């Protein structure tokens, strides 16, 4: 793992400051060694072709989303094409190092009581109802969403870690030395074929955005969305109507590609890459014949500069943090939950609790992970279940359910019409049942679900 990044710390724990060699800000699996877990296809880790070839958002696995730059046609630097020989490594590293030092200073000041800031309880109760009332108050003006592969699984894109159905559990046919290798940059340079074969299966444009994606769009339309940080590389946030300015595609995007030649770096379009991938031809540069890679962040590559730049300003302004469909296993993305002010509420919508304080660090008073159950809990709420159901439940409490349902139906019909599938697809499905109101300590009962399914890690994404 590179210097300046947090080590293992699924979800908000301080973890370890790794002083190993290498430029800062690189994407880490959150665990050492080949067995380390990666994010989902949609979760931008490395490419989640569609937590995609992600994160690796896992590569951006989770959904192929795991990306992006401000303003239409943002420049190359903002899109964060960070290869090992990128000219911006040292500059980004310095910014990242300062960012981590500021974070640690603030963390120590807050947790050891060295500052004057005292936690203020802003939710009248630690439930989804309490969050909805806060969102309708004058105190909530800037909402930041951080999302992973779990928000794209209902679109048909696998996450990375669900037993039996996750991406990593179904890569046997690629003869990899270990599952994460498919999203590691050094392995890709030597053996690009497995990645591009997977990309054909998960390529953007074959899936529709989910209820979660359109809920985030509603936040934008209501003037509440400050930013959406995504690990996914499936581009479904864009398809749902979010602009580049609304997004930080932390694990890159399939939207553009670049030649890996150190003296070339020629840029290629989504259509060019799509043609190569579906013709089963390994993409090679027209100019120098070097390998061409989608601009998704693989393990061992730097995150886009945009991630570090906006993180500094956004997390000083945020009034509410909504975390959806991520296991918070991949750093530095997972550390975002700890960067909000101490009085900012945090809502987790996920199949399982994650991002909780490490017991050892908590005993030392050095944790800013989420706390759902202890006597000291004052701002964190967990809604456990499918992400689409959680968004539906919240929309209903906010009085937005009909609007959300109409938006999903309209947008899905437009996508079907554009692809010539309107007649075959039929009517778009209605929103999923909201389920029972969740409490900070126990998952809601969900219509049509069984205890066995409840225990799946489906929305753990990344």
Do 49 and 202 contact (CB within 8 A), yes or no? yes
Distance CA(272)–CA(284), nearest Å, equals 11
Distance CA(101)–CA(146), nearest Å, equals 22
Do 275 and 292 contact (CB within 8 A), yes or no? no
Catalytic residue among 191, 213, 251, 258: 251
Find all residues with CB under 8 Å of 200, minimum gap 6, and list them: 277, 278, 280
Residue 251 annotated to the active site:
yes
DSSP for 73-118, written as a single string: T--HHHHT---TT-TTHHHHHHHHHHHHHHHHHHHHHHHTT-SS--
Coil, strand or helix at 147: strand
Q: From residue 392, give the alpha-carbon distance in Å to each of 43, 227, 246, 396.
A: 21, 20, 22, 6
Helices 401-418/387-398 angle, 10° precision: 130
Distance CA(123)–CA(18), nearest Å, equals 36
Can you state the percent helix, strand and coil of the chain, rounding each to 5? 35, 15, 50
User: Which of 79, 53, 216 is closest to 149 using CA atoms?
Assistant: 53
Q: Which residues are catalytic?
A: 251
């Amino acid at each position: 793992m590179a210097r300046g990044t947090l080590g293992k710390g699924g979800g908000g724990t301080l973890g370890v400051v790794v002083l190993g060699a290498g430029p800062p800000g690189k994407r880490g699996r959150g665990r050492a060694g080949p067995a380390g877990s990666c994010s989902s296809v949609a979760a931008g880790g490395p490419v989640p072709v569609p937590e995609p070839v992600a994160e690796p958002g896992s590569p951006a696995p989770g959904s192929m989303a795991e990306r992006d730059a401000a303003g239409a046609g943002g420049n190359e630097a903002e899109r964060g094409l960070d290869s090992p020989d990128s000219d911006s490594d040292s500059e980004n590293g310095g910014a990242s190092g300062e960012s981590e030092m500021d974070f640690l200073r603030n963390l120590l000041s807050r947790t050891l009581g060295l500052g004057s800031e005292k936690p203020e309880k802003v939710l009248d109760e630690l439930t989804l109802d309490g969050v909805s009332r806060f969102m309708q108050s004058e105190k909530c003006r800037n909402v930041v969403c951080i999302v992973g592969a779990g928000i794209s699984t209902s679109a048909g894109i696998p996450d990375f870690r669900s037993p039996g159905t996750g991406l990593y559990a179904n890569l046997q046919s690629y003869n990899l030395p270990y599952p994460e290798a498919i999203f590691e940059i050094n392995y890709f340079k030597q053996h690009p074929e497995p990645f591009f074969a997977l990309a054909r299966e998960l390529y953007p444009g074959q899936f529709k955005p989910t209820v979660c994606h359109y809920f985030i769009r509603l936040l934008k339309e209501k003037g509440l969305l400050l930013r959406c940080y995504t690990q996914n590389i499936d581009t479904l946030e864009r398809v749902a109507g979010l602009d580049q300015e609304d997004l930080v595609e932390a694990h890159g995007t399939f939207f553009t590609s670049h030649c890996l030649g150190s003296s070339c770096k020629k840029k290629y379009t989504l259509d060019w890459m799509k043609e190569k991938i579906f013709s089963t031809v390994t993409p090679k540069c027209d100019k120098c014949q070097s390998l061409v890679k989608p601009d998704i962040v693989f393990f061992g590559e730097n995150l886009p500069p945009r991630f570090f730049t906006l993180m500094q300003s956004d997390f000083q302004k945020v009034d509410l943090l909504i975390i959806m469909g991520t296991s918070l296993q991949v750093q530095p993305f997972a550390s975002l939950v700890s960067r909000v002010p101490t009085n900012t509420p945090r809502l987790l919508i996920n199949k399982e609790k994650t991002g909780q304080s490490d017991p050892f660090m908590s005993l030392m008073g050095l944790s800013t992970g989420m706390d759902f159950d202890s006597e000291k809990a004052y701002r964190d709420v967990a809604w456990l279940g499918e992400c689409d159901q959680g968004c539906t439940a919240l929309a209903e409490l906010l009085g937005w359910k009909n609007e959300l349902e109409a938006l999903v139906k309209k947008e899905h019909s437009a996508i079907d019409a554009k692809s010539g599938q309107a007649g075959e697809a039929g009517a778009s499905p209605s929103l999923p049942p909201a389920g029972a109101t969740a409490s900070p300590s126990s998952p809601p009962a969900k219509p049509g679900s069984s205890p066995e399914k409840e225990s799946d890690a489906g929305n753990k994404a990344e």
